[in-house]
Structure 1
Amino acid sequence: MKRVDVTYVLLFDELRENVLMVKNIGENSSYYTLPGGAVEPGETLEEAAIREAKEETGLDVEIGDVFSVSEAFFEDAGHHVVFFVFRGKIKGGEITISMPEEIEEVTWMSIQEAEDYLHITGNAKGLIKRSPSAPYLLRKRTKYSS
């Protein structure tokens, strides 16, 4: 199994009633996710989240604390995926679809509806409205010698 890290950004509207979602074009059907994608080699989680949000929505974002960490095994692809969801703030830009081959729509969605697409289940329902978080700490890059 290959380990794949994926970052997403949880963005609210000004009233904190809606979440920004993107509709991805899938092989069999389209599906909604938060803006985000795979971390590229040499990229930090924060850098990937900011880049992916810009590519998918046209918005400039700032990353805050970690909202959640989850993982899944995709047997068919041979991937063990770890998902890092960050709380974010919109700092500028405007909503545009710059990658129409990947993104079908960028839309604001009610928190309740968004939870269904975010695979928040059981006792975690309502998690988006609460504010649990963990700090994102980036340690400086260092070279280790033996």
Structure 2
Amino acid sequence: MGSRRDYYRDPNAPKANSLVPGGSALIVDEHGAVLMQRRGDSGNWSLPGGAMEIGETLEQCAIRETKEETGLDIEITGLLGIYTDPEHVIEYGDGEIRQELAVTYYGRVIGGSIRVSSESTAVRFLGLDELAGLPVHESVRLRLQHHVEQRDSPYLG
């Protein structure tokens, strides 16, 4: 597992050299808690998701990544938003510096059981009040805030 460092609205951030579409899923349980994983590379709690692969749609990417990272099978039920902030860049240990290009879908669990993957140290549903006190990157907090707002249309940004 490589290292990862997020830069967010940091004037000293390195210049991006890569743009990779990614998909993630925001899934809530019957109590309103959100499915989160604790990333092994940064220690932050995050939504399940990752980079799109050739031969799949972005929806299929979000479904596959959620299965790989959490053990749960989901279906896509909507679109929370499109997140393409050029002031959010992610530096990886191999020299890649990626500009954010992420689509976050709403999903619901249709099968599987929670398990921790090699990419994470924990997976569980967390209440929004619990998440307030945990390490969560600002870009993920923005998605959670958009979810709380119950917006009439997806965020486009």
| The structure with more radius of gyration | 1
Residues 90-115 of structure 1, C-alpha deviation per residue, up to 9 Å, x if partnerless? 11111112x2x311100121124447
- Counterpart of 1:138? none
Any idea what SS the aligned residue of 1:55 has? helix
Task: Give me the whole-angstrom Cα distance separating, in 2, the residues matched to 1:118 and 1:11.
Answer: 18
TM-score, normalised relative to structure 1: 0.75
Choose which of 120, 134, 146 in structure 2 pairs with 1:127.
Answer: 146
Aligned to 2:48: 35
**Whose RCO is larger (CA < 8 A, sep 6+)?**
2
Count of equivalent residues: 127
Q: Is the 8 A contact 1:21 1:114 kept in 2?
A: no
- Residues 125 and 80 of structure 1, relative CA distance in 2, 3 Å threshold: closer
CA separation in 1, counterparts of 2:46 and 2:39? 7
User: After alignment, is 68-77 or 48-57 more displaced?
Assistant: 68-77
User: In the alignment, residue 30 of structure 1 is paired with which amino acid?
Assistant: G
Q: Residues 65, 118 of structure 1: CA spacing in aligned structure 2 closer, same or farther, 3 A cutoff? A: farther
Alignment partner of 1:105 out of 122, 128, 132: 122
Per the TM alignment, residue 81 of structure 1 is displaced from its structure 2 partner at its CA by 2.4
Amino acid at match of 2:28: F
Residue aligning to 2:75: 62
Per-residue deviation, 1:118 = 5.3
Alpha-carbon RMSD across the aligned residues, in angstroms, is 2.3
Q: Work out the percentage of aligned pairs sharing the same amino acid.
A: 32
Relative to the length of structure 2, the TM-score reads 0.70
Runs (5+) with no aligned partner, structure 2: 1-16
* Aligned counterpart in structure 1 of residue 89 of structure 2, from 73, 81, 103: 73
Contact 1:19 1:114 in 2 (8 A): no
Q: Where does structure 1 differ by over 6 angstroms across 4 or more consecutive aligned residues? A: none
Amino acid paired to 1:19: V
1-structure distance, mates of 2:53, 2:100: 14
CA–CA distance in 1 between the matches of 2:70 and 2:107? Answer: 13
* 1:11 Cα deviation from its structure 2 partner: 0.6
Q: Distance in 2 between matches of 1:118 and 1:64?
A: 24
Give the counterpart letter for 1:91 in structure 2.
Answer: I
Residues 2, 50 of structure 1: alpha-carbon distance in 2 compared, 3 angstrom cutoff: same
